[in-house]
Structure 1
Amino acid sequence: MAELLHNPPILTKVKQELSAELSSKENVKEQDLSWLPNLEAVIKETMRLHPTAPFLLPHRAERDVQISGYTIPKHPQILVNTWSISRDTTNWDEPTKFKPERFLNSDIDFRGKDFSFIPFSAGRRICPGLNLAVRMVSLTLANIVHKFEWKLADGVEPKDMDMKDKFGITLQRAEPLLAIPVTSANG
Structure 2
Amino acid sequence: MGRPESGKERLLKAALQEFSERGYKRTTLEDIAARADVSKGTLYNYFRSKEEIFDQACDYAFKCWDDWACERAEEAEDPLDKLRTLARELYAYLGEHPEIKRLLRREPDLFPVFGPLTYRHGGDLDTVKMLRSILASGIKQGSVRDMDIEGVIQILGAIFRLFVVGYADLDEPERRNLAEAALNIIVDGLKARGD
Asked if TM exceeds 0.5, the reply is no
Identify, as 1 or 2, the structure richer in helix. 2
TM-score, length-normalised on structure 1?
0.30
Q: Which has the higher contact order (CA 8 A, sep 6+)?
A: 1
TM-score, length-normalised on structure 2?
0.29
